[in-house]
Amino acid sequence: QSVLTQPPSVSGAPGQRVTISCTGSSSNIGAAYDVHWYQQLPGTAPKLLIYGNNNRPSGVPDRFSGSKSGTSASLAITGLQAEDEADYYCQSYDSSLNAHVVFGGGTKLTVL
Amino acid sequence: EVQLLESGGGLVQRGGSLRLSCVPFGFTFSTYAMSWVRQAPGKGLEWVSSISGSGGNTYYADSVKGRFTISRDNSKNTLYLQMNSLRAEDTAVYYCAKNRGTFPLYSSLSDWGQGTLVTVSS
């Protein structure tokens, strides 16, 4: 069981908008620790997509955006493209006794 | 361009040891915290360990504390992960990653290596 909860899968047609949620608690997202998002294409290493809740590294299209509210965060992808099909992970810090850096369980995005 | 090249993975028996290395290119190694993240076959990402830029502060996941040791040699531009008392559940691809911010536990991982596979046989 991951400290951060993500839906196992989401899907959308090309051109549509999809969102991926990342639900935490008062010891991580709710404690105002930053949330980061990663994209992992099949057979490759993860790539940083969003850092500090809503910031895009250079080179990441503005179709990708992040937001945070309360104990949850979301990744939104607009204008869905076939090459967006990948696994997506959220990451944060947890201040509880036995946790440090925590990842969500990952969400598989399927482009229909 | 930032690159991270891991090496040292392989097949090891349960209870054995292995040392992973990560050599960085394209940035001033000593000024960045670094981390190791692993991914078991078909599973999600799991943070393993992080180290500050100077090497003076280290952090571990509970699952590896007391068995793994992260270290760095800034004079040799190399990051290490010494893994002892290996278990079947340590089988995974191990990624070396560069931290974006100053404090390794809060910051994102801006660059990742290609990963090195560690297989622990029972």
| pLDDT tens for each residue of B88-112 | 999 999 999 999 977 888 999 999 9
CA B60 from chain centre, in angstroms, equals: 10
Q: What is the mean pLDDT of residues B80-85?
A: 98
- Which of A6, A75, A101 would you mutate first to test chain B, the one with the most B CBs within 10 A? A101
Task: Tell me how far apart the alpha carbons of residues A88 and A84 are, in angstroms, rounded to a whole number.
Answer: 10
Type of residue at A90: C
Q: What is the pLDDT of residue A36?
A: 98
Question: B109 — contact with chain A (CB < 8 Å)?
Answer: yes
CB contact under 8 A, A46 and B62: no
CB contact under 8 A, A45 and B109: no
pLDDT exceeds 70 at position A99: no
- B78-82 long-range contacts (CB < 8 A, ≥24 apart) are B78/B21, B78/B22, B78/B23, B79/B21, B79/B22, B79/B23, B79/B24, B79/B34, B79/B36, B79/B51, B80/B19, B80/B20, B80/B21, B80/B22, B81/B19, B81/B20, B81/B22, B81/B36, B81/B48, B81/B49, B82/B17, B82/B19
Q: Which of B95, B105, B107 sits opposite A45 (nearest CB)?
A: B95
